């Protein structure tokens, strides 16, 4: 598996934070706030793979370009960045030694928490 940082998604996430399009929820909320398969499919139908990919900080380069399996480390609900999504993804990226992605997520976490500090 070769997972790399999705630079476009990282820029998109920073832009969402700058615009205040965030949810300051708690770490354990992600299981309830993460988009369902139906929500993912509806978003894909409307925005295509390029729009879908903006919501995932990891790209598995060994997976087909137009497959959900290509995209890893979601951080939002297709409208807003969720603090719980960032924290969950940050933890998983560190656990699986995806250092570049973990560093980007830590940066997002800091930007998000520093936003109203």
CB hemisphere CA count around 117 (13 angstroms): 7
Contacts with 59 (C-beta within 8 Å, 6 or more apart), sequence order: 3, 4, 5, 6, 53, 70, 71, 72
Confidence category of residue 98, pLDDT binned at 50, 70, 90? very high
pLDDT of residue 1: 63
Closest Cα partner for 104 from 3, 7, 2? 7
pLDDT (mean) for 91-97: 95
CA distance 117 to 113: 7
pLDDT of residue 28: 86
Token digits of residue 38: 């139906």
pLDDT (mean) for 38-55: 97
CA distance 62 to 48: 20
State the DSSP H helix or E strand holding residue 3, giving kind and residue range, or none if neither: strand 3-5
pLDDT of residue 116: 46
On the question of pLDDT at 117 being above 80, the answer is no
Confidence category of residue 30, pLDDT binned at 50, 70, 90? very high
High-pLDDT (> 70) share of the chain, %: 97
Q: Domain locations in the chain?
A: 3-114
């Amino acid at each position: 598996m070769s997972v790399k940082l999705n630079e476009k998604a990282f820029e998109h996430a920073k832009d969402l934070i700058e615009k205040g399009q965030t949810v300051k929820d708690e770490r354990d909320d992600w299981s309830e706030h993460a988009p369902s398969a139906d929500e993912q499919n509806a978003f894909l139908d409307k925005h295509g793979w390029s729009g879908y990919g903006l919501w995932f900080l990891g790209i598995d380069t060994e997976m087909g370009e137009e497959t959900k399996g290509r995209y890893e480390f979601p951080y939002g609900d297709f409208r807003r960045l969720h603090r719980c999504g960032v924290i969950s993804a940050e933890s998983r990226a560190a656990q699986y030694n995806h250092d570049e992605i973990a560093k980007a997520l830590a940066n997002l976490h800091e930007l998000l928490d520093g936003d109203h500090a």
